[in-house]
Amino acid sequence: MNTVSVIYFGQSAELTGLKGEELVSVPTPISSRELWELLQQRHPRLAVLRGHVVLAVAQQYIPIAEQLVVLRDGDEVAVVPPLSGG
Amino acid sequence: MTTFVFCSYILNYYFYYCGYFVTVIFLLVRFSRLTAMDNEMCSLKRQLEEKEKEIAALRSKLAARVEKASELKIQDKVTTLNPLTAKPSLSNEDIMRYSRQLLLPDLGVQGQLKLSQTSVLVVGCGGLGCPLAQYLAAAGIGRLGLLDYDEVELSNLHRQVLHGEENQGQAKALSAARSVIRLNSGVECIPYHLQLSPENALQLVQQYDIVADCSDNVPTRYLVNDACVLSGKPLVSASALRMEGQLTVYNYHGGPCYRCLYPVPPPPETVTNCSDGGVLGVVPGIMGCLQALEVLKIASGQGTACGQQLLLFDAQNARFRSIRLRPKQPSCVVCGEIPSVTRLVDYEAFCGSAATDKCRKLNLLSKDQRITVQDYKSIRDSTGPHILLDVRPLVEVEICSLPSSLNIPLSSLEEKKSKDIQLLQEKISQVKQQMAGDQQAPVYVVCKLGNDSQKAVQLLEKMSGEEVDGITVKDISGGLMAWAKMIDPSFPRY
Ligand SMILES: [Zn+2]
């Protein structure tokens, strides 16, 4: 069980109403799908981004799948939907 | 007597000599004045000759510029370009102009020569494309293709820094090209006033060495990506919105393409553009500069570190983060091992949205659920009791609003915020008290353009009988911008 900080970018910050938050007692290892579902449970409006978002743990891209992720205490989880504006 | 004669003789002589001296002095003074005047005339002549030479030089420079500017023929379709001619060496003027970057061991003469032989296609001459084109031209890139389908508007000028007030209404591609030529007449500029499409994209992209995606919409991003993958060109891609920016180089040395990262386009309703969400001009400015940096490194042979990373800029906290990406995906439909996208497709259909950043017009309601701004004007004039519900975010209400409107943002309605629902209920009962009998309270919903107001009408109808009761809800078609256009020209537009 670890504490990680989640950073929300772009549309995900709008949908959650947060720029970031601390998640305590996150089980590890955890599949990236479970990690995403955990976020979606906290913020159901994130569901619209599923399949259109980059998830990164400790500055490393993680595909949302069954792959197991080891979370270290203090790791940063970034939720990054694409930006298309210019 | 003789004394007198002698004296007068002497005096005569005296006067004679005096007269002689005066004449000599007079002549001497005159002569020296003449010499001074001669000298002055000579120097003036010399100066004039110098100025004439300078004028001639300026004239020929101006003629060269005029010729260069008149060469700026705006292209409304893609044509075949002559290949860029290789420069064997730098001219003295090149050496002076680029001296400060020639001194960099990372660039040097060889790098500078490579820049002059590189062509870059800039897709979009807006907030990203302007600073990008500016720095590429300043650095001495060989050829710049500047593409934009749009014209310059007043609301562009805070971020699209190549366009000026006098360029409003002009094609952005031409306005950008003129600015770039003024900065560096040695750069060949080709303005394309056209929409990039599946029909023209390949022919265009194939003629350039590097492509920079500075576009403002999702379908164009997929189109540019696929055209780059199919023609094997590196794609330097940036985007910006509000206080955030992103940068990645796609399709470069085994790195991923845009589709490897985003195989499925986002639903159109989740995409915010600059005209909806706003952007601080300097944010795309910074991202466009970063894009220029990566283009220059690739063009000069230094390579880029952004081929397998996503750079995130958080302007609010002045922080950069970079996310390491995976290499290109074998399963990718366009750059993978067995690609299914082998030619360009219909990207507007694929993304479910138009290839512009202009606001789309939703049509969610039936005709009897909507009224025109003219109808609403007569309702206001007749002073019948009603509620005008403005569902825009607070930040927009602060820009302008109609008097006596009730502001509850759409997001608060969606979340059914109890404070706001209570406010609405109070207002409904007030209006009902003003009305005779047991009539329903009319609620007219307004927003900026008439999209969110339709969503709000649907929402309020769903809430009817539960959270709110006894109302008839209608949307004001076209919103406050239609009001400004048709009813009150003094109402601000944004
Ligand atoms: Zn790919």
Which chain B residues in 325-364 lie under 8 Å from chain A, judged by CB atoms?
Answer: 325-326, 357
Q: How far away, in angstroms, is B336 Cα from ligand 1 center?
A: 6
Does B433 reside within a domain? Answer: yes
ipTM of predicted complex: 0.96
**Do residues B159 and B37 share a domain?**
no
3-state secondary structure chain A: CEEEEEEECHHHHHHHCCCEEEEEEECCCEEHHHHHHHHHHHCHHHHHHCCCCEEEECCEEECCCCCEECCCCCCEEEEECCCCCC
Report pLDDT for B1.
46
**Do residues B236 and B291 share a domain?**
yes
What does pLDDT average to over chain A? 93
**Do residues B373 and B439 share a domain?**
yes
Does A85 reside within a domain? Answer: no
pLDDT in tens, B244-279: 999 999 999 999 999 999 999 988 878 877 777 899
Count CB pairs under 8 A between chains A and B.
100
Report pLDDT for B33.
73
**Do residues B129 and B57 share a domain?**
no
Instruction: Return the closest-CA partner of residue B205 out of B234, B180, B181, B178.
Output: B234
Instruction: Return the closest-CA partner of residue B491 out of B452, B426, B446, B457.
Output: B446
pLDDT in tens, B346-374: 999 999 988 887 777 888 999 999 999 99
**For residue B4, what pLDDT band results from cuts at 50, 70 and 90?**
low
**Do residues B239 and B346 share a domain?**
yes
The catalytic site residues of B sit at 274, 447
> What total number of domains does chain A contain?
1
Last residue of one domain, picked from the residues B41, B71, B101: B71
Q: Which domain holds residue A22?
A: 2-80
Q: Is the pLDDT of residue B175 over 70?
A: yes
> Out of A10, A60, A61, whose CB is closest to B244?
A10
**Do residues B332 and B412 share a domain?**
no
- Chain B partners within 8 Å of A82 (Cβ): 218, 221, 239, 246, 261-262, 266
* Shortest alpha-carbon distance between residue B171 and chain A (Å): 17
Does A86 reside within a domain? Answer: no
Q: Can you give the length of chain A in residues? A: 86
Work out the average pLDDT over A24-51.
94
The CATH number linked to A9 is 3.10.20.30
The CATH number linked to B402 is 3.40.250.10
What does pLDDT average to over chain B? 92
**Do residues B280 and B373 share a domain?**
no
Last residue of one domain, picked from the residues B33, B53, B71: B71
**B241/A contact by beta carbon, under 8 A:** yes
B189 marked as part of a ligand binding site = no
**Do residues B290 and B415 share a domain?**
no
Q: Do A82 and B239 touch (CB under 8 A)?
A: yes
> What total number of domains does chain B contain?
3
> Out of B128, B266, B284, whose CB is closest to A82?
B266
Whole-structure pTM value: 0.84
Q: Which domain holds residue B32?
A: 1-71
pLDDT in tens, B178-221: 999 999 999 999 999 999 999 999 999 999 999 999 999 999 99
Q: Do A81 and B245 touch (CB under 8 A)?
A: no
State CA B446 to chain mean position distance.
30
